[in-house]
Structure 1
Amino acid sequence: MSEQQQKGRIRGHAAIHRWFVLAEQALRAHGESLNRLNVFPVADSDTGANMLATMTAARQAIEQSSEDDLGALLATAGTEAMAEARGNSGTLLAVLLTGFAEPLHGHERLTIDVLDQALEHGSVRAWSALSDPVAGTMLSVLDAVRSCAHQQVVAAEEPESRAALIESLESMLAVARNAVVATETELEALTRAGVVDSGGTGLLIVFDALRAAMTGTEPDSDLLKGLHGLDGERAAQPCGSSGQHEDYVEIMCTVRLDPLGAASLRHQLDEVGESVIITPVDAEADDRGMYRWRIHVHAATEEEASRAIHAAGEVTTYTAAPLCSTEAEH
């Protein structure tokens, strides 16, 4: 490796690693608060735990990686995070990391221009992964940040400069926080509970860690101050109370399919379950035209969903657990 390549690796690898370390630490510190906010789509009190598991897997992947450029690093992190992803929020966070990767290939330094491209690609991946995407969630927070990044690129006199990146990250964080506040009025379930969205709040934490990593500062200790629902008792009845999703199971699995097979399976799972997420793990197909697809579904009965999944293709991983556990919260 040349001296120039080594310098690029220090910039890229160290920055991404610091981002993931800071995000992991913050998600762990605020995990219980995120769990209390967990109202939508199911009040199963695990958003904080699920997002933390994704970020931990991503951080561990980076520490084992010898890649040099930002795109390769995030692709590695996203693939490993996808394999460990749990729940809606954890899976979507893994989807975002994977989506960010493609526009960053060949770059060893983050600029506002390439960040704008990464956010655009990540947004497309996230919205398309869900069968029934809903505003007032982490998707709304992501899109607010994406729109802000694009405006910053257009307005920047020197979009390749570090100063432009720092200024833009500060603006994007402010926009992200406002978007989290807005979720309470955008989604009826959150309005009734008087809380902001848990996944959106978790994504705000991740974006703050990115800002801190790229600017060489620390995460904002007042970031979540004043957000509704973070203090006190849970604002909504736990999952399973009053029969809510009491018999549902949450299935997470990985299946080898071609794109047509994935579309067909999505249709079948939409018929027997809710919160369906289907997204490719691999960037390229194998020699048979197959990809690994990560699948998440809340199924009314495991039997029907499992039958559809196993009939669709080669299942490489499969877990199913009661959506509404009677055990202690995650």
Structure 2
Amino acid sequence: MMVEQQHKGRIRGHAAVHRWFFLAEQALRAHGDSLNRLNVFPVADSDTGANMLATMAAARQAAEQSEEDLGALLATAGTEAMAEARGNSGTLLAVLLSGFAEPLHGHERLTIGALDQALEHGSVRAWSALSDPVGGTMLSVLDAVRACARQQAAAAEEPESRTALIDSLDSMLEVARQAVVATEGELEALTRAGVVDSGGTGLLIIFDALRAAVTGTEPDPHLLEGLHGLEREPAAQPAGAEDEDHVEIMCTVRLDPLGAASLRHQLDEVGESVIITPIDAEADEQGSYRWRIHVHAGTEEEASQVIHASGEVTTYTAAPLYGAETEH
């Protein structure tokens, strides 16, 4: 009987995650153009919607192949999403999914307490992945939701109940929306453009999909109404951008933690928007991990030399911030 109950719990937990990813992918596809129009920070390359959609699609496909507990399922999804991630927003979304997984190992269903821990770990992973994290972004939205979850978990009379989780998700979604609205006044680039943050808005969409999956309802069709910038034209390139050599590099490199720290320091010297985060949960026999790397560089040559000199590069893609990508 106990084995049967555990199996049923696993099915319910899996079903919720599968539906969450499915609904999130659908919603990101539906709102992709809007997210792209909002995209002015850190560069106005109008690809946030596409990047977050690609990450979620990879996570959804990976989750469909997993039959493990919630933590292992999310870890599998996060690892695959990390390997396929593109851009700041896509990479941070993959980092969050991987971070969510860590405290959920052994859990067959989601509770407000487990979600609180997952959000805490996700926040730590996301902030530590960035060399220069700033507020007014999806990090601000994440932290607002994390704080709300902590309050809801502490106040819940029956923290293991489904009702406590549902009530908390409603509150967290409202807090997330308020945090998105606030981003416009937290970053000069957003204030100047009169828009809310694109990545933060994408995260709001994903949290709404989670609420819908847990409650067995549909995402809120009015979720984004009233947010500033949704009807604007796509962000214009900075003057002369088409004549510059700035590139966005995404790659995977096998390094030990010390090597990763050294690479971060070197990339901070030659580029910006640096994200370095481990893909693997455990090191190989030599003590190294696969690390996902993201950087905006003034020219590809210098950043590429630094990356290839640091360790074994298993994937490498470089794209002009306003052009087509190339693979090496």
* TM-score interval for Structure 1 and Structure 2 normalised by the shorter chain: over 0.9
After TM superposition, the score normalised by the length of structure 2 is 0.96
Once superposed, which parts of structure 1, at least 4 consecutive aligned residues long, lie more than 4 Å away?
none
Task: Determine if contact 1:48/1:202 at 8 Å carries over to the other structure.
Answer: yes
Alignment map for 1:244-259 (pairs within 5 Å): 246-259=244-257
In the alignment, structure 1 residue 316 sits paired with structure 2 residue 327:
no
Output aligned runs, 1:194-205, within 5 Å: 194-205=194-205
| Whole-angstrom distance in 1 between the partners of 2:17 and 2:324 | 38
Paired AA for residue 115 in structure 2: L
Match of 2:145 in 1: 145
| SS of aligned partner of 1:49 | helix
Residue 86 of structure 1 corresponds to 86
> Alpha-carbon deviation of 1:10?
1.2
**Partner SS, residue 170 of structure 1:** helix
1:2-17 correspondence runs (5 A)? 2-17=3-18
Q: Is the 8 A contact 1:254 1:294 kept in 2?
A: yes
The letter for the 2-side match of 1:237 is A
Superposed displacement of residue 143, structure 1: 0.1
Distance in 2 (CA, whole Å) between partners of 1:107 and 1:247 is 48
Rounded Cα–Cα distance in structure 1 between residues aligned with 2:239 and 2:245: 11
* In 2: Cα distance, 1:207 partner to 1:88 partner: 19
Q: Quote the offset at 1:247 in angstroms.
A: 1.6
Instruction: Please list every run of 5 or more consecutive structure 1 residues that lacks an aligned counterpart in the other structure.
Output: none
Letter in 1 for 2:304: S
> 2-side partners of 1:50 and 1:107: how far apart?
30
1:259-274 map, 5 Å: 259-274=257-272
Give the Å deviation of 1:326. Answer: 7.9
Q: Which amino acid aligns with 1:317?
A: T
TM-score, normalising length: structure 1: 0.96
1:1-330 equivalences in 2 (<5 Å): 2-67=3-68, 69-234=69-234, 236-238=235-237, 240-243=238-241, 246-325=244-323
Q: What is the aligned-residue identity percentage?
A: 85
Letter of the structure 1 residue corresponding to residue 248 of structure 2 = E
Distance 2:240 2:304 in 1: 26
Render the CA deviation track for 1:70-103: whole Å, top value 9, x for unaligned: 0000000000000110000000000000000010
The count of corresponding residues between Structure 1 and Structure 2 is 324
Distance in structure 2 (CA, Å) of the matches to 1:98 and 1:232: 33
- Alignment deviations for residues 108-165 of structure 1 (CA, whole Å, 9 cap, x no partner): 1100001000000000000000000010000000000000000001111111111100
| Letter paired with 1:167 | D
